[in-house]
């Protein structure tokens, strides 16, 4: 199928759904049947056949037998089938099984050697190939992965935004960093972009919110991990949902079109980006205050005064310089950091 035409001819959003991992034939068929009965408008059924795990001895997928279960899902319920491929063996087995849609995972995208090998193995295919963003917030790696596929005459491409890893724990499993995805879209305006709220959130609570934010930004679709018994899933149980919850999320989505007033569409996008930045600012301030609390404890133990004039002078000097470099009002930045400094003093006083 031609991905662009398939998505254009499908009611927005284009939806890929199914379990994180294929576990059994019964699991696959019951999940697919309940998706169908729920009324959820799903185009493609997904399942992980091979699962890359961070640590050894974890569940790494059922392997090629899962391809037979996927084919049964397609035969009985009419869904297109999609899997992740991470090496040439996966590609060969998936092509032999006539899998409809492929995606390259975040770990693979981060490795140019791996992407090149997969691209060569897929050379000239007309199968839709989605490329997930790399784990780290590196736009060049994401673009490079797509260019490697294009270099092998693979033109039926899509992209999946699954968020980016962060050392600091936040409410997201992988922070969305929406601006990076929009920069990717600006670089490849004709490549469909879909969001993966399951991996962005890492939980069920915020899936609907993140899916709606993606729609607000003009994404063509979403991928949601769906399982007939999410609590008992063998991998990523906390972020999977039942078919009935999937249907509820999809029915509540408000799709957007670029054909409405241009400025209204732009305002929505900019507001989503501002909200994303605001969240990061608050998270960083929280981390800063936690460090201030630790410094307060050290001052208490060593009988040092809380207010240190030299340190405040150092802060004002580098914030003033940074304000100048960023072409921002130095007075504005100084006011902000005075409030931050006052809050730090209050925290250390409480210690």
Q: Judge if 242 and 298 occupy the same domain.
A: no
Q: Judge if 280 and 211 occupy the same domain.
A: no
The neighbouring-strand residues paired with 17 are 45, 224
In a domain, 137, yes or no: yes
**Tens of pLDDT, residues 165-191:** 987 777 899 999 999 999 999 999 999
Average pLDDT score, the chain? 90
**Tens of pLDDT, residues 59-111:** 889 999 999 999 999 999 999 999 999 999 999 999 999 999 999 999 999 99
E strand or H helix that includes residue 199: helix 197-201
Last residue of a domain, one of 232, 252, 272: 252
Q: Judge if 230 and 114 occupy the same domain.
A: yes
Q: Judge if 31 and 137 occupy the same domain.
A: yes
Rounded Cα distance, 351 and 175, in Å: 32
Q: Judge if 188 and 276 occupy the same domain.
A: no
Domain count, the chain: 2
The Cα-based distances of 176 to 47, 111, 276, 311, 333 in angstroms read 23, 21, 8, 35, 27
**Residue 208 confidence class, pLDDT cut points 50, 70, 90:** very high
In a domain, 257, yes or no: no
Q: How far apart are the first and last CA of the chain?
A: 63
pTM of the full predicted structure? 0.79
Give me the CATH number covering residue 310: 1.20.59.10
**Tens of pLDDT, residues 13-27:** 999 999 999 999 999
Give me the CATH number covering residue 167: 3.20.20.70
Rounded Cα distance, 139 and 322, in Å: 25
**Residue 263 confidence class, pLDDT cut points 50, 70, 90:** low
Q: Judge if 196 and 287 occupy the same domain.
A: no
Q: Judge if 190 and 337 occupy the same domain.
A: no
Q: Which domain holds residue 90?
A: 3-252
Q: Judge if 112 and 230 occupy the same domain.
A: yes
Judge whether 253 and 309 are in contact, CB under 8 Å: no
In the block, residue with structure tokens 């960083």:
284
Instruction: Give yes or no for residue 51 having a pLDDT over 70.
Output: yes
Q: CA dihedral in degrees (91, 94, 96, 97; nearest 10)?
A: 180
Q: Judge if 176 and 232 occupy the same domain.
A: yes
Stretch 216-237: mean pLDDT: 95
In a domain, 326, yes or no: yes
Which of 130, 50, 121 lies closest to 91 in space, CA to CA?
121
**Residue 301 confidence class, pLDDT cut points 50, 70, 90:** confident
Q: What is the pLDDT of residue 85?
A: 97
Last residue of a domain, one of 252, 278, 301: 252
In a domain, 346, yes or no: yes
Q: Judge if 310 and 280 occupy the same domain.
A: yes
């Amino acid at each position: 199928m031609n991905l662009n035409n398939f998505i254009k001819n499908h009611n927005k959003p284009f939806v890929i759904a199914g379990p994180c991992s294929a576990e059994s034939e019964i699991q696959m068929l019951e999940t697919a049947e309940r998706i169908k009965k729920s009324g959820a408008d799903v185009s493609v059924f997904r399942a992980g056949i091979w699962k890359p795990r961070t640590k050894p001895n974890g569940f790494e997928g059922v392997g090629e037998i899962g391809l037979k279960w996927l084919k049964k899902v397609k035969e009985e319920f009419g869904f297109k089938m999609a899997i992740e491929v991470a090496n040439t063996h996966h590609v060969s087995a998936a092509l032999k099984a006539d899998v409809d849609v492929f995606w390259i995972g975040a770990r693979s995208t981060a490795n140019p050697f791996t992407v090149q090998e997969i691209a060569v193995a897929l050379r000239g295919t007309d199968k839709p190939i989605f490329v997930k963003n790399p784990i780290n917030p590196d736009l060049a790696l994401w673009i490079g992965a797509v260019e490697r596929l294009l270099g092998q005459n693979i033109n039926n491409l899509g992209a999946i935004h699954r968020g980016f890893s962060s050392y600091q724990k936040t409410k997201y499993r992988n922070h969305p960093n929406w601006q990076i995805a929009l920069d990717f879209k600006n670089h490849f305006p004709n490549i469909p972009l879909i969001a993966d709220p399951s991996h962005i959130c890492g939980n069920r609570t915020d899936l609907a919110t993140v899916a709606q934010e993606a729609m607000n930004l003009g994404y063509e679709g979403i991928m949601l991990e769906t399982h007939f018994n999410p609590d008992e899933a063998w991998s990523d149980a906390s972020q999977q949902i039942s078919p009935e919850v999937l249907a509820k999320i999809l029915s509540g989505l408000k799709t957007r079109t670029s054909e409405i007033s241009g400025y209204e569409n732009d305002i929505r996008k900019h507001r989503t980006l501002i909200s994303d930045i605001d969240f990061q600012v608050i998270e960083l301030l929280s981390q800063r205050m936690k460090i201030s609390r630790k410094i307060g404890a050290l001052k208490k133990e060593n009988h040092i005064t809380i207010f240190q004039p030299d340190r405040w002078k150092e802060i004002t000097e580098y914030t003033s310089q940074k304000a100048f470099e960023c072409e921002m009002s130095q007075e504005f930045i100084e006011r902000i950091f005075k409030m931050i400094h006052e809050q730090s003093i209050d925290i250390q006083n409480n210690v």
